[in-house]
Structure 1
Amino acid sequence: MESRIQKIRETLKDKNLDCMLLYKPENRRYVSGFTGTTGYVVVTHDEAKFMTDFRYIEQAKTQCQGFEIIEISKEKPLTYVLNQFQISKLGIEEDHVTYGQYKDYSMKLDQIELIALDGALTKLRVIKDEDEINNITQAARIADKAFIHILKYVKPGIMEIEVALEIESFMKQKGASKLSFDMIVASGERSALPHGVASNKTLSLGDTITLDFGCVYNGYCSDMTRTFILGQATEKQKEIYAIVLEAQNKALQSVRPGITGAELDEIARDVISKKGYGAYFGHGLGHGVGLEIHELPHINQLGKEPLAPGMVITIEPGIYVPGFSGVRIEDLVVVTHDGYEVLSKSTKEFIELNR
């Protein structure tokens, strides 16, 4: 974590701060390695401290290498400890502080100015190092294995929720700690719902089935979507799938350092619009993935920053026709020095699953 602490100190200098307070779980883990649920990272220009209550002291001593471990309690709360530091400007995670916490800090911190970090940690986390990419890659491998498994499991008459439970159970057996988000299993007309979380609907022959899922491995997320047909497909189902796959491939092939998320979004959107389905692609092309399932960079019309090696993103165009069905195809991708590497290895060939 030494290099990450140094990045924090560079941020302190850039923002003219004396100290930074972090407790958003993803930021806290990124800087300290702590995986528990309660704790605070405090970094100054020459000190790094981790504060937690008695439940996590031993865990922090093991995980938070290079940090001084300080026990906090009702008698000696966080604000009491911070008041012992010789600081006047404290950077806080403005997007993770409740009004109650801000009010408490403002009342109890003596002559310490609270200054918003403006998402500084999220920006630091956008470039993944080798260990981070390895963890994301392993999470993607588990999801790929789950897709192969579920194709053998799916049949008419079972419920979407049963499919979701089978995928979750399989991924945990293969080493995942949990799902990286609420799984989407949407069949038939429900596949036209971009966020159609698994329901009690039963699968029927002729259904389009969209599976959007991922898992967490060693804290890092994966994310993949595949769409297939249960039984024999209609010509319109084939048409929509082919358009989405073309859009996805063209965007994928354009991934490289220097291109922006907005430019990638336009490439995929242009393919779908020219085929007459522009009105049915209503979400952005993708997003960054890491310790959080949605993080920087933006891979949509807001994505004005150029991509750089080490960023991990999704490319996931879709077409959703209400009352009929929908198709989304999503891959997890690492931006490399000379282009990209796709981490999602599951087939994207058109599948008619005959049972």
Structure 2
Amino acid sequence: MAEQNVDAVLLPGGASLRYFTGVGWGISERLLGAMIGREGDPVYVAPAFEEPKVRQLLRVGDAVRVWQEEESPYRLVAQLLSEWRAEKLAFDEATPWAFVAGIRSEAPSIELVDPVGTVAACRAVKSPAEIAIIRWAMGLTLDVHRRVHEMLRPGMTNTEIAAAADRMHREGGADGGNTFSIVAFADQTAYPHGPEGEQTLRDGDTVLVDIGCAVHGYQSDLTRTYVFGEPTERQRQLWAVEHEAQQAAFDAAKPGAPCSDVDEAARAVIAKHGFGPDYKTPGLPHRTGHGLGLECHERPYLVRRNDTPLTPGNIASIEPTLCVYGEMGVRLEDHFLVTESGAEWLTKPSESIDKPFG
């Protein structure tokens, strides 16, 4: 905070509150969160009726300031800022506008600071413990992928497969089942976030499975694409382009390299093979990857014009989906860890369309 010249940080419910204080509480219309100053323990702000439960969750500090339903929680925040003689306040990126506007009305002289250099920057660099948990979660999800691949039969529905993956994640020790699931067949694999409704698996279908779980709150997120049956030459061609693009992006992932370099490397391969260019389809219509931690999508984002340098401890996905609407899509998604000397995969990428799991 001192380096960023920030006097205080507000963390409402959500991933950042859990990251900095250990308190697991979701976001809602009521302000419940922590105020962190340059010195001392956090001070929690909560609805009065939630105080008993909040106190059960506290791990760092024990000061809780409460507000009744008809009172303004933003007045409590303003009082703390005044007591701390704070002039600059940073927010978590996910802070609702209603909270920001409320604090502005109660503390009009406070300067609001971009949260990226404070809250987000801390979370983007993973500790050895975080890396170990994420690596384990990714391994669990990769195993679920293998088991799903082995169980496929003609006539199965995408909803059946998602339910099976959910059960496998639970059996494997995840916090719950799937945190999300995308299962698509045939031409519906071209839609990056999956089909609408139920599909039935047929011989020769392209199959895309994108699933994840949480372990101690940390996320996994892996996608595999393959063919149920014998691939056609066209399916092999598109899969090979995606595979090449994923590898090129990984090769560009180095400490100090701008995030945009990773995106451009993938996009260049796809354009070389006659797709795109840029975000045009058939081609790659979205960014190449995203960071991952307590949230499935967090910084750093591997996207054009993001000059943020990759830093040792960053974890991010590489998933340059090749979308050919009306025909098929291919997404191969694995995550890498930035190290002092380069990057390393957290899971082994697919070898080929015939051997998606080696």
Give the TM-score normalised by the residue count of structure 2. Answer: 0.86
1:125 match: secondary structure: helix
1:114-134: CA deviations, max 9, x gaps? 523433311221111111111
Query: 2:259–2:303: 8 Å Cα contact kept in structure 1?
Result: yes
Alpha carbons 1:208, 1:325 under 8 Å: kept: yes
2:198 equivalent in structure 1: 200
Residue 56 (1) aligns with residue 53 (2):
yes
Deviation, structure 1 residue 148? 1.3
Structure 2 residue runs without a partner (length 5+): none
Could you tell me which runs of 5 or more consecutive residues in structure 1 were left unpaired when the two chains were aligned.
1-8
Tell me how far 1:152 sits from its aligned partner. 2.0
CA distance in 2, matches of 1:283, 1:332: 17
Give the Cα separation in 2 of the matches to 1:108 and 1:249.
51
1:49–1:68 Cα change, 3 Å:
farther
Distance 1:94 1:349, change over 3 A: closer
Question: Deviations for 1:188-220, whole angstroms, at most 9, x for unmatched residues?
Answer: 010111111573111111100011121111111
Alpha-carbon deviations, 1:131-182, whole Å to 9, x = none?
1111211110111111111012221111111111111221122122246753
Contact 1:60 1:69 in 2 (8 A): no
Deviations 1:77-131 (A, max 9, x none): 644544253434251427434343334334445x762523433311221111111
Give the equivalent residue in structure 2 for 1:42: 35
Match of 2:129 in 1: 131
Distance 1:18 1:300 in 2: 31
Check whether the contact 1:20–1:92 (CA below 8 A) recurs between aligned residues: yes
8 Å CA contact retained: 1:147, 1:346:
no
Give the alignment of 1:156-171 within 5 angstroms: 156-171=154-169
The correspondence for 2:18, drawn from 18, 29, 43, is: 29
- Listed as ranges, the matches of 1:253-332 within 5 Å are 253-278=251-276, 279=281, 280-332=283-335
User: After the TM superposition, which segments of 4 or more aligned residues of structure 1 sit over 6 Å from their partners?
Assistant: none
Counterpart of 1:242?
Answer: 240
The partner residue of 2:9 within 17, 20, 23 is 20
1:10 aligns with 2:2: yes
Structure 2 counterpart of 1:307, one-letter code: L
Distance in 1 (CA, whole Å) between partners of 2:75 and 2:140 is 45
Q: Deviations over 1:226-265 (max 9, x none)?
A: 1010111111001111111122122223322122222122
Moved more, 196-205 or 24-33: 196-205
Supply the AA of the counterpart residue of 2:310: L
| 1:163 alignment partner, SS class | helix
RMSD, aligned α-carbons: 2.5
Whether contact under 8 Å (2:55, 2:62) holds in the other structure is no
Letter in 2 for 1:23: P
The number of residues matched between the two structures is 338
TM alignment of 1:93-242, pairs within 5 A: 93=91, 95-109=93-107, 113=110, 115-119=112-116, 120-178=118-176, 182-197=180-195, 199-242=197-240
Instruction: Tell whether the 8 Å contact from 2:12 to 2:95 is kept in structure 1 after alignment.
Output: no
User: Cα deviation per residue 1:11-34 (whole Å; 9 max; x = unaligned)?
Assistant: 5xx33x432221141111111111
**CA distance, structure 2, for counterparts of residue 74 and residue 286 of structure 1:** 43
Q: 1:31 to 1:239 in 2, by over 3 A?
A: same
Supply the AA of the counterpart residue of 1:19: A
What is aligned with 1:87?
85
Q: CA deviation at 1:346?
A: 5.9
| CA–CA separation in structure 2 for the residues paired with 1:211 and 1:316 | 13
TM-aligned CA distance change 1:265 to 1:174, over 3 Å: same
Aligned-pair CA distance for 1:347: 3.8
**Which one is further off, 148-157 or 89-98?**
89-98
On the 8 A contact 2:319/2:334 being kept in 1, the answer is yes
AA in 2 matched with 1:30? Y
CA change 1:295–1:60 in 2 (3 A) is: same
Q: Is the 8 A contact 1:19 1:45 kept in 2?
A: yes
Aligned mates of 1:309, 1:94 — CA distance in 2: 22
Q: Is the 8 A contact 1:41 1:48 kept in 2?
A: no
Specify which of 66, 69, 76 is matched with residue 63 of structure 2.
Answer: 69
Amino acid at match of 2:344: E
